[in-house]
Amino acid sequence: MDGTAKRARSVDQKAERQKAILSAARGLISDLGFDGVTMSALAKRAQVAKGTLYLYVRSKEELFLLLFVEAMEDVVTRFEAEACADQLPEQLTRLVSDTPLFLPLYARLAAVIEANVADEPLFAAKRRILATSNRFSNKLATLLEVPPARAEALSLVLFQALLGAAQLDLPSGRDPATLPADLRDSFAVHQFDRAFPPSVRHILGVD
């Protein structure tokens, strides 16, 4: 395609175009990593003119923010459908680990992504994140049989622990073969699947 496709005009067309752009972005990140993503490369991968792309996302950081919001919504949708009270630490860890891009995007969310996004798209994303957080709290209240206010407080601490574990997990992803032998255990202890479940157990007061 030469990048001169007609501009999407209906609501459905615009939704499909944005879906295609985000799908192209996931493929680009998979192939090149976060640092390899450029707006020019994304326009080419999504088969849209660069000017059209800027109607949907105005920067790389705004793109990453949209990808994070969708990943978070996926996590919570699965949490609502699959979680049970007696396996929360393991299930929450698995759901987060299995959702593509969630952890690396969450680790970058505040300092790198949100700090470089304009107010309008940031506020729109924050509203979606808040609504998704409320869904998580409501499900947690049902699972633990606790009042909504208690579930909301627990959810806040869980997501703070999740953020810390996601940030610590970034360097732990190095190939162990490239690390000095005396530092391998230090890196391994911060791997998300190893570090996060004990935090969940402590927060929820379960063994």
**pLDDT per residue as tens digits for the range 144-180:** 999 999 999 999 999 999 999 998 887 645 565 676 7
2 confidence band (pLDDT: 50, 70, 90):
very low
178 DSSP assignment = G
pTM of the model: 0.87
Backbone dihedral region for residue 84 (phi beyond 0: left; psi -120 to 50: alpha; all else: beta): beta
Question: What whole-number distance in Å separates Cα of residue 13 and Cα of residue 112?
Answer: 31
Mean pLDDT of 57-68: 96
Question: What whole-number distance in Å separates Cα of residue 57 and Cα of residue 17?
Answer: 11
* Residue 7, pLDDT score: 56
* Residue 175, pLDDT score: 62
191 confidence band (pLDDT: 50, 70, 90):
confident
| CA atoms 160, 164, 167, 172: torsion sign | negative
* Residue 198, pLDDT score: 93
* Residue 184, pLDDT score: 65
Instruction: Please write the tens of the pLDDT for every residue from 80-127.
Output: 999 999 999 999 999 999 999 999 999 999 999 999 999 999 999 999
Number of helices and strands (H, E) in the chain?
A: 10, 0
Tokens found for residue 142: 């049902």
- Distances 143 to 35, 38, 94, 138, 198 between C-alpha atoms, Å: 40, 42, 17, 9, 19
Backbone dihedral region for residue 117 (phi beyond 0: left; psi -120 to 50: alpha; all else: beta): beta
